[in-house]
Chain A
Amino acid sequence: MTITDDRPEVTNEIGRSRLRKEDRRLITGRSRYTDNIVLPGMLFLGMVRSPAAHATITAINVAEAKASPGVVAVYTGADLSDAHGGLPCAWPITPDQKAPEHKAVAVDRVSFAGEIVAVVVARSAAAARDATELVDVDYEDLPVVLDLQTAAAGAPYAHPDLGTNVSAHWVYDSAEAGNGTDVKAVIAAARRDGVVLERTYLQQRLIPAFMEPRSTVVDPTGEQITMWSATQVPHILRLMLALTCSISESKLRVIAPDVGGGFGGKLQVTPEEVITLLVANKLGKPVKYTETRSESLQAAHHGRAQVQRLTLAATKEGRVTGLHVDLLADMGSHLGLVTPGVPVLGAFMYNSIYKFEAYRFECTNVFTNKAWTDAYRGAGRPEATFAIERLMDDLAAELGRDPLELRKQNWITHEEFPFATVAGMEYDSGNYEAATEKAVQLFGYDELRAEQARRRAENDPVQLGIGISTFTEMCGLAPSRVLGALSYAAGGWEHAQVRMLPTGKVEVVTGVSSHGQGHETAWSQIVADKLGVAFDDVEVLHGDTQIAPRGLDTYGSRSLVVGGIAVTKAADKVIEKGRQIAAHLLEANVDDLEFSGGRFTVKGTDQGKAISEIAWAAFDGHNLPDGMEPNLDADAAYDPVNFSFPHGTHLAAMEVDTETGAVAIRKYVCVDDVGKVVNPLIVEGQVHGGLAQGIAQALFEEAVYDENGTLTTGSFVDYLVPTAADLVDFVTDRTETPSLTNDLGVKGVGEAGTIASTPAIVNAVIDAVRHLGVTDIEMPCSPMRVWKTIQGAKPGSPESETPDEKQPHFDADETETGGGHK
């Protein structure tokens, strides 16, 4: 048999707006989300959750639930406790980090409302849920710790046995690290002869609110136990379950089928996953658990929840000299998979795109009796960007400067790359001038400033504000050595396999795990270009530990920057293997062969062979070089040498009705530089979605607890995920400064929109009413909050008294000795 060379003439897939391969199934309802999976004899779980935020469990009576029709079993914490060693935290940021025991089902004490106290197993989901109402639990209330600052100050404790609410204290100091000067000295100098800004910003608690509620199915009836789960991290999940549930890793297969969004919220090893696994193993039957939306909002991990106490020093001329960040980070009730590390990820980004002499970051991680926090889109970096970009606007106002001009004065210019930052990062490339110039033009910055001045002069009740946010972020998590230095338990490499099938079609196995990103499409483009095969001839396989045996999954804008590069490395190896076979078949020297457009040719001749021909030759094995294995497959694992640093400039125009507090987005422009782009359509979609989430933090979303620790935003009625009517069309554009540290020049785009949009919007809202004396508005900037802030800014108003927590956070002694925080 011969294989003919019927390749398309032109490939050049990278850079093309290919429509997604994934869409056809999803638009016709042919989806495979975990809750769609039904297995013979399957049983269903219902969770009994604590209504109390902090209480001792004094008694649990399950008799009535057990007698309920269709109920197979009811388990309490005591029944399941011995079967697992507790939920894992992979990031002990300090050697003396404190953490409470974290059992999947609480045994004798609950520490947040929503914690699971018992599990009902029944023949249907409805029967299970009915019976959860019949489990009788007696609680004895304990003091509830909710406020972050109160919790940091001392008793009462979220976990009395720990004797403290502080989990860890982590410090980075540029002088100690040798990357800058002493921040105290710089602040002291600025107090004498410069400008010092002291601010406290609140990063409200958010809920990732992926659209697909979490769901897990476990089938224990095969030789391998199979778990399907709505997770971003099937590989990490498998490893962690093996380590904590006394199951041989080789006996467990984890599948992430279609996953309906994650945004960090499915970067977790959850109590529900552990429980489903344990119950299925106990009963020897397939078991499913799917949470309700209320359960998801209440008990899936939350994000943000930080208090940022900031001191910025600058010269009178506007050159920023130093920044001191003193952070309180709310862990909530427990430490999840990477909970303690989230604020640490922000530590390297507070200096952003600017050249500071001195920088100190300290973070105190604190327990409260709320749902635990963990990664949410951006994870530390949105908080950092918010802080510095709000400060830059405030500094401009303080100095009477244009905020854009002030940023230009302080940012790293494009000639200065590579640039070693005060936070210890090496930025490889960037062009902040180009992105900003493009954004300013698209925005019509000067015209909008003129309109703003006109409306001010006319005392228009609806005022216009312009908000700016530049940003950079560290993507491509991560070089394994760096993660090791930060005490993270795992590495940051990624794996790929490229297999040439006998017919010339290609299977690509990737260790990253798509949950909406479009990896199947983008990876096909990369491989089509690399191997010179048709886009449609590439099949991308992922999200199943049996199919993709090695990987570290999808989060931190890493999939393309790490996983995509692993794919290119594997493809390179395929080409090298093919070259050996081609040289043998063409009776040429290996060094004389060129590979281009899917064809090996002998230099200076018209002799050649298509890679599809080589694939068949490798398969039939009739005539291979001595010692050559009969296939064209290759594996590669890639560990990045550095992070990548996308950047961008976002500009927002907001209209604020000073009489009602209503805010409206007038215009939003962003120019992002994410390096080389594989698929512009997908990149644009990522930016749109990121903007919506960042804007939602600025204007709409907040997880609110009452004084008893009950989540009052426990449904989509109260937790305000924006609708289409709440948002506008965004103007998005790009500049392209390739990353210099990876083969494709790519930088990552998953989190960019979320990072820059929050400060851009808030800066714009404040800019609209700054002339009324407003200097800060807490997020979300709801109409009531905006209205009250405006009222409070009026002299003599009862709203104008500054609450204690908003008072300057330094005292006279510190002022004299040069500032700094206690």
Chain B
Amino acid sequence: MRISVQVDGVAYTDEVEPRTLLVQYLRDHLGKTGTLIGCDTSNCGACTVHLDGASVKSCSVLAVQADGREVTTIEGLASNGELHPVQQAFHECHALQCGFCTPGMIMQSASLLRENPHPSDDEIREGLEGNLCRCTGYQNIVKAVRQAAGSNA
């Protein structure tokens, strides 16, 4: 099937198998390997991207469902060399260790803050419930989201 998708500001038109997942399309067709795959049951959230501005787990979306829509990945989040406030906060708060959950965690955090610019700690924790991290114990991730919320205000 032929799809046309805007990814990180670039327009692509490609033939894909109907069963191709969005994450496979991003990684295998477009070389957008910044988006990672951590599980096969939509539990870990490592593959989280924005589809028309809202966060989705790109393993749970077919590539054909992205036809005519706009995708932002971790690779397109910074603009003109300026880190997104969430990226900056993850760095400053030591909110990553191995980095594997990080792309999904940052995309989910950015989406969370767009929906709720001033979340409580509980709201942050609940908002990130669909993203697993094995390294940080989440404390510094929560701190980073809190900090990014402040910088957005």
Which A residues lie at the B interface, using CB under 8 A?
Answer: 19-20, 22-31, 33, 35-36, 38, 126, 209-213, 258-261, 263, 292-294, 515-518, 681-682, 684-685, 688-693, 715-717, 721, 723-725, 727, 729-730, 753
Contact = CB atoms under 8 A, between A and B. Distances in A.
Q: Kindly list the 5 A-B residue pairs having the minimum CB-CB distance in the complex, ordered from nearest.
A: A29-B34, A516-B98, A260-B100, A26-B99, A692-B137
13 contacts: A19-B91, A23-B91, A25-B99, A27-B83, A29-B33, A31-B36, A31-B103, A38-B31, A212-B36, A292-B40, A689-B97, A689-B134, A723-B138
A716 B139 contact: no
Q: Determine the main DSSP class of B at the interface with A.
A: loop
Given A27-B87, A294-B40, A685-B94, A724 B141 contact: yes
A301 to B, nearest CB: 16
A20 B39 contact: no
B98 A259 contact: yes
Given A293-B41, A716-B43, A263 B134 contact: yes
B39 A293 contact: yes
Interface in B75-91: 75, 77-78, 83, 87, 90-91
B100 A33 contact: yes
B41 A715 contact: yes
Contact of A26 (B44, B102, B140): B102
B45 to A, nearest CB: 9
Contact of B94 (A210, A260, A681, A721): A681
Best-buried of A33, A260, A294, A715 by chain B (most CB within 10 Å): A260
B66 interface: no
A691 B139 CA distance: 11
Given A681-B94, A682-B94, A688 B136 contact: yes
A261 B98 contact: yes
A516 B102 CA distance: 12
B132 interface: yes
B35 interface: yes
B76 to A, nearest CB: 9
A19 B88 CA distance: 11
B137 A689 contact: yes
Interface residues of B, number: 55
Nearest to A28: B78
B129 A723 contact: yes
Best-buried of B35, B46, B106, B137 by chain A (most CB within 10 Å): B137
Interface string B116-153: 00000100111011111111111111100000000000
Given A23-B91, A27-B90, A28-B87, A516 B138 contact: no
Nearest to B90: A27
B90 to A, nearest CB: 5
A307 B139 CA distance: 33
B37 interface: yes
A211 B38 contact: yes
A350 B94 CA distance: 34
A730 B46 CA distance: 24
B96 interface: yes
B52 interface: no
Contacts of B44: 211, 293, 716
A38 B33 CA distance: 10
Contact of B73 (A19, A29, A685): A29
Contacts of A293: 38-41, 44
A97 B51 CA distance: 56
A721 B132 contact: yes
A260 B98 contact: yes
Contacts of B142: 724, 729
A29 B46 CA distance: 11
Contacts of A721: 132, 134
B5 interface: no
